């Protein structure tokens, strides 16, 4: 049913730390690797070795340069996949019920056996999270590796989405945003967590930790330096050689 | 948005079909003396236009054989509601036409069917407009002008077709409607031109406080579905040409030809339909999806 659940028991999603992401695309590659052979695969690949390769990917890594007056430019690597929104417009527009949001964990999925390939959901999504598979004639999207995170045949610590388990920098975190004590809720509360495109009123579950502010960082470094110098001098004055 | 011919035909043909049917039903209710042939041709032509439109809309589906599933999600989906209303509105159309064609002797039912036909057509055209107007991610569509536009364009183009079927007695009403429709179209363009650029790339990234963002390398080597479907870039020159073509053929030329009474109603109808197709082509080509903020557009 394309009615959105009033409340989901869990809010499974990703927290992506933009301070840490180095733009290596490993998450996108491992996403494709897992899902093309998973329940939603195969994911279309057209002319993979040609001049103009094209295909379905659930995760895309964008790269932006931010310019701000009085600051040196900064590069921000920006992984983007489905945000599993609470008010997901892609679900309510679906005429067939193929697009759905699960009430138990909030994951947004497409049922490929029911999808008629009208593409309206991809028009409704402001984030470009859905890509159409011309070979299968149905819409495809991130499943939060639903066939991995609940698989009891693999060790519990590995039951996380492929993009999370593969990230070499530790920029991606997976957990339940409905639980205030979860790893992702804690990290979001400690850091500067952001919604993508709040103007679209989709209430995304996935959150992004904004890059650290330059001013804050500089100040912190300076105070850190001052205190460490002070500490060292005090220690010398006390003839304290511990630590 | 990529202007796909199948979707352009869908709304222009079905719009003219429902508009024509509204005209026919209204004239039946007002006690206009329509001949049997006029009613048969009127309902028949509405039926053909609407059916071409609906069939065309299924061409762009990945799985047309599953199209029946689209009737199930009327509680949330305007596309589903549109499908259901279109099927329901066939009822009065077939009964009014069939009654004349097969002499079914249902004359007592006809006024009720005419009322249902008018209501059904208006609601169907409204649901069609809402498929587009409900999408917040496409600002050029997410406004009331789109809802008003679909209704009045259905009535004006359907009115031109009605003259072709049933004669010239109401031509001044159609001319007035065409002028009104022209004004609505110009107001719509003024609205979308004024509101272009309301969303910025930095909003889309959730980082409005970090200065100006610019993509410095592409996210992928080739074009993907998103860019092919939603990345249509219309150059200003072409937009101006298409806007004049839409106004000229969709409204101005039909109004002038009707006013001077040139007895070429079929030709006027074809010109009007062609103009509406240019208008609908622009409706897609001009509409910028906010996903482009992640790619090539600084603002949408």
User: What pLDDT, in 10s, does the model give residues B91-143?
Assistant: 999 999 999 999 888 889 999 999 999 999 999 999 999 999 999 999 999 99
Which tokens sit at B60? Answer: 């762009």
Tell which residue, A197, A19, A131, A89, has the closest CA to residue B219.
A131
Name the residue of chain B whose CA is nearest to A125's CA: B137
Dmax (CA) of chain A: 78
Rounded Cα gap, residues B204 and B84, in angstroms:
35
DSSP string, A84-110: --TT-HHHHT-SSS-EEE-TTT--EEE
**How confident is the model at residue B133, as a pLDDT?**
98
CB contact under 8 A, A136 and B62: yes
Name the residue of chain A whose CA is nearest to B229's CA: A123
CATH number of B5-294: 1.20.1630.10
With beta carbons under 8 A apart, name residues in chain A contacting B291. Answer: 125-128
CB contact under 8 A, A93 and B134: yes
Residue A236 banded pLDDT, cuts 50, 70, 90: confident
Rounded Cα gap, residues B119 and B111, in angstroms:
13
Q: In B155-246, at which residue ranges do the beta strands (DSSP E only) sit?
A: 212-217
Rounded Cα gap, residues B69 and B149, in angstroms:
29
Rounded Cα gap, residues B245 and B9, in angstroms:
17
> How many C-alpha atoms does A88 have within 13 Å on its Cβ side?
33
**How confident is the model at residue A222, as a pLDDT?**
67
pLDDT digits (tens, 9 = 90+) for A150-164: 999 999 999 999 999
Please name the residues in contact with B228: beta carbons below 8 A apart, sequence gap of 6 or more.
Answer: B2
Tell which residue, B254, B15, B258, B17, has the closest CA to residue B152.
B15
Which tokens sit at A48? Answer: 């993979």
Query: Buried b / exposed e across A140-175, counting CB within 10 Å, b at 16+?
Result: bbbbbbbebbeeeeeeeeebbbbbbbbbeeebbbbb
Check residue B293 and give left, alpha or beta (phi > 0: left; psi -120 to 50: alpha).
Answer: alpha
Nearest Cα of chain B lies from the Cα of A191 at a distance, in angstroms, of: 14
What is the domain partition of chain B in residue ranges?
5-294
> How many residue pairs from chains A and B have C-beta atoms closer than 8 A?
195
Quote the DSSP letter at residue A183: H
Question: How distant, in Å, are the alpha carbons of A93, B56, B92, B136, B181 from that of B148?
Answer: 21, 23, 24, 17, 9
What is the domain partition of chain A in residue ranges?
12-212, 213-243
Name the residue among B76, B138, B216 with its Cβ closest to that of A92.
Answer: B76
Rounded Cα gap, residues A61 and A136, in angstroms:
24
* pLDDT surpasses 90 at B190: yes
Rounded Cα gap, residues A113 and A61, in angstroms:
29
Mean of pLDDT values over B165-177: 94
pLDDT digits (tens, 9 = 90+) for B6-42: 999 999 999 999 999 999 999 999 988 899 999 999 9
Nearest Cα of chain B lies from the Cα of A169 at a distance, in angstroms, of: 19
Mean of pLDDT values over B49-53: 98
**How confident is the model at residue B121, as a pLDDT?**
98
Tell which residue, B130, B18, B116, B113, has the closest CA to residue B78.
B130
* pLDDT surpasses 90 at B279: yes
Rounded Cα gap, residues B145 and B42, in angstroms:
29
Rounded Cα gap, residues B168 and B175, in angstroms:
11
With beta carbons under 8 A apart, name residues in chain A contacting B137. Answer: 89, 123-126, 200
CATH number of A12-212: 3.30.70.20
**How confident is the model at residue B105, as a pLDDT?**
87
Mean of pLDDT values over B225-237: 96
Which tokens sit at A96? Answer: 């067939």
Tell which residue, A73, A3, A243, A169, has the closest CA to residue B212.
A73
Question: How distant, in Å, are the alpha carbons of A79, A158, A174 from that of A188?
Answer: 17, 22, 12
With beta carbons under 8 A apart, name residues in chain A contacting B210. Answer: 66, 68, 74, 76, 210-211
Name the residue of chain A whose CA is nearest to B300's CA: A126
What value does the mean pLDDT of chain A take? 93
SS3 track for B8-71: HHHHHHHHHHHHHHHHHHHHHHCCCCCCHHHHHHHHHHHHHHHHHHHHHHHHCCCCHHHHHHHH
**How confident is the model at residue A216, as a pLDDT?**
55
Residue A215 banded pLDDT, cuts 50, 70, 90: low
**How confident is the model at residue A1, as a pLDDT?**
67
Contact A4, A87 (CB under 8 A): yes
Residue A243 banded pLDDT, cuts 50, 70, 90: low
Nearest Cα of chain A lies from the Cα of B196 at a distance, in angstroms, of: 15
Dmax (CA) of chain B: 74
Residue A2 banded pLDDT, cuts 50, 70, 90: confident
What is the pTM (predicted TM-score) of this model?
A: 0.92
**How confident is the model at residue A158, as a pLDDT?**
94
């Amino acid at each position: 049913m394309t009615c959105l659940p009033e409340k989901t028991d869990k809010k499974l999603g990703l927290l992506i730390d933009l301070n840490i992401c180095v733009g290596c695309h490993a998450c996108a590659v491992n996403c494709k690797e897992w899902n093309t052979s998973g329940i939603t695969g195969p994911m279309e690949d057209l002319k993979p070795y040609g001049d103009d390769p094209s295909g379905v990917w659930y995760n895309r890594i964008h790269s932006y340069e931010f310019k701000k007056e009085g600051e040196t430019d900064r590069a921000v690597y920006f992984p983007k996949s489905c945000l599993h929104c609470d008010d997901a417009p892609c679900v309510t527009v679906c005429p067939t019920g193929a697009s759905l949001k699960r009430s138990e964990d909030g994951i947004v999925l497409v049922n490929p056996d029911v999808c008629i390939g009208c593409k309206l959901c991809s028009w409704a999504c402001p984030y470009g999270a859905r890509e159409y598979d011309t070979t299968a004639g149905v819409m495809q999207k991130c499943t939060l590796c639903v066939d991995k995170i609940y698989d009891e045949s693999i060790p519990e610590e590995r039951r996380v989405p492929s993009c999370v388990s593969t990230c070499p920098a530790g920029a991606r975190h997976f957990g339940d945003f409905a639980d205030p004590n979860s790893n992702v809720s804690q990290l979001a509360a400690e850091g500067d967590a952001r919604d993508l495109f709040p103007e679209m009123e989709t209430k995304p579950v996935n959150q992004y930790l904004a890059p650290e502010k330059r001013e804050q960082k500089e100040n912190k470094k300076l105070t850190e330096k001052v205190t460490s110098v002070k500490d060292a001098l005090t220690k010398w004055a006390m003839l304290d050689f511990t630590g | 948005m990529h202007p796909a011919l199948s979707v352009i035909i869908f709304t222009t043909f079905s719009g003219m079909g429902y508009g024509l049917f509204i005209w026919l039903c209204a004239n039946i209710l007002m006690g206009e003396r329509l001949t049997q042939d006029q009613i048969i041709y009127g309902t028949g032509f509405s039926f053909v236009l609407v059916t071409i439109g609906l069939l065309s809309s299924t061409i762009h589906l990945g799985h047309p054989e599953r199209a029946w599933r689209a009737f199930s999600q009327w509680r949330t989906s305007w596309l589903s509601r549109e499908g259901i209303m279109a099927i329901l509105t066939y009822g009065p159309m077939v009964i009014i036409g069939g009654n004349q064609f097969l002499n079914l002797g249902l004359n007592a039912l006809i006024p009720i069917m005419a009322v249902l036909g008018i209501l059904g057509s208006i609601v169907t055209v409204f649901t069609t407009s809402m498929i587009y107007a409900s999408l917040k991610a496409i600002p050029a569509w997410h406004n009331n002008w789109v809802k008003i536009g679909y209704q009045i364009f259905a009535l004006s183009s359907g009115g031109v077709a009605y003259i072709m079927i049933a004669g010239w007695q109401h031509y001044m009403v159609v001319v007035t409607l065409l002028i009104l429709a022209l004004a609505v179209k110009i107001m719509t363009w003024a609205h979308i031109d004024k509101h272009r650029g309301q969303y910025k790339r930095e909003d889309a990234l959730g980082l409005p406080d970090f200065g100006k963002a610019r993509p410095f390398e592409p996210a992928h080597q080739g074009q993907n579905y998103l860019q092919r479907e939603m990345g249509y870039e219309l150059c200003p020159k072409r937009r101006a040409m298409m806007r004049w073509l839409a106004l000229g053929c969709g409204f101005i030329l039909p109004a002038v030809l009707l006013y001077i009474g040139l007895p070429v109603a079929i030709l006027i109808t074809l010109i009007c339909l062609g103009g509406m197709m240019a208008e609908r082509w622009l409706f897609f080509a001009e509409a910028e999806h906010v996903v482009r903020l992640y790619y090539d557009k600084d603002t949408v």
